[in-house]
Amino acid sequence: MLNLGLSRRSLLSLAKVAHVSSTVATKTTARTVTGLHLVRHALQKQSSQGLHSSTSFWHPRKPRNAHGGGNLRNHFGNYTRLAPTSLRLGVVPPDVNGLVPDHIQKPGYALRGEPSEWAAGIPINGPEDIEKCRHAGQLAKKILELGGTLVKPGVSTNEIDRILHEAIIANKAYPSPLNYMGFPKSVCTSVSNVIAHGIPDNRCLEDGDIINIDVTVYLDGFHGDTSATYLVGNVDKPGKELVERTKEALDEAIAICRPGVPLNRIGKTIQAIADRHGYTVSEQFSGHGIGKEFHCLPLIYHHDNDEDGTMEKGMVFTIEPMFCQGTAVGVQWPDKWTVATADGGRSAQFEHTIVITDNGAERLTG
């Protein structure tokens, strides 16, 4: 849980967590960490407000897949829209002892499911810690690239999760999402209209899908976090453009990073690109510090904001913008993890872990 003695930025992140209503998806000012901790922590408190209208909210038509959605042909494009398959609340926590060998070094939350309290300040990493972050980041990159080779019609997200889990273990690392606040899988797979925290399952990818694979590994006491959105088969022009512009936003945001630059310039840079191309930016999730902890300060907001703080050499954090075709308001599914767009429009995300250097930023996962 969050320590109430943390800094204003950390407290605001909890206070602004997305409010999910069973009858209406109202725009919030939520600004939560894109990682699993803050969203899960706050949503636990509102389990009674979970989504109860499920598929009727999206008005699905022509059901085609195990998610009860259908082909969506409108100004958003041509793709299969996902919807919940069950109103059952929550998920069953994983059996970490059965999934991860004893010789693999595990983060403190691995067995108990609860992460440690946040430190009050932003960690400034020295050369040794940065090198360990780099090693973890490069492994995360390798695993993500493997995931990209698996993306094709007919492959289930469960299969992607299984193969990536085995690859992480083979590299003597721990899959950071596994049992983080009870998350049941080793990676997140967010398909088409899912903004974030999609749980791998038996649904097979279909021609025209887009999928974000989010990989974090824990290696030698440090986490490395990265994600990318991939095209499945023949994706329509609006889908391809959404993916391209989201990647462009990440690249441009990293390009402005250097010591002395306000942290809020990241969000201003990303917002300007989204506005230029007619997209919205999810405000329900944010980038975050990372290293010895999966999530820590600073919080990195991807929308236009006036938050305090400047970049300093040695800061390590993620930037992970999420662009949406229509509304960026997200609705939480009954599983208490998956967050999908309220209007069924597609969402794309790209992410890198970076370190601030003497005169710029290094992509630790690049």
Annotated binding residues for substrate: 197, 295
Please spell the DSSP secondary structure of 115-150, one letter per residue.
PPPPPSS-----HHHHHHHHHHHHHHHHHHHHHHHH
Q: Are the C-beta atoms of residues 16 and 31 closer than 8 Å to each other?
A: yes
Separation between Cα atoms, residue 32 and residue 45, nearest integer Å: 15
Query: Tokens 């973890």 identify what position?
Result: 136
| Strand ranges, E, within the chain | 70-74, 77-81, 174-175, 188-191, 194-196, 210-219, 222-231, 280-281, 287-289, 296-300, 316-319, 322-324, 330-332, 339-341, 347-349, 352-356, 361-363
Alpha helices (runs of H) in the chain, residue ranges in sequence order: 8-15, 36-44, 54-58, 96-99, 127-150, 157-170, 237-255, 264-277
Q: What is the dihedral of CA 347, 333, 24, 36, to 10 degrees?
A: -70
Separation between Cα atoms, residue 18 and residue 33, nearest integer Å: 11
| Residues in binding site | 197, 214, 225, 288, 295, 320, 351
177 DSSP β-pair partners: none
| Residues in binding site for a divalent metal cation | 214, 225, 288, 320, 351
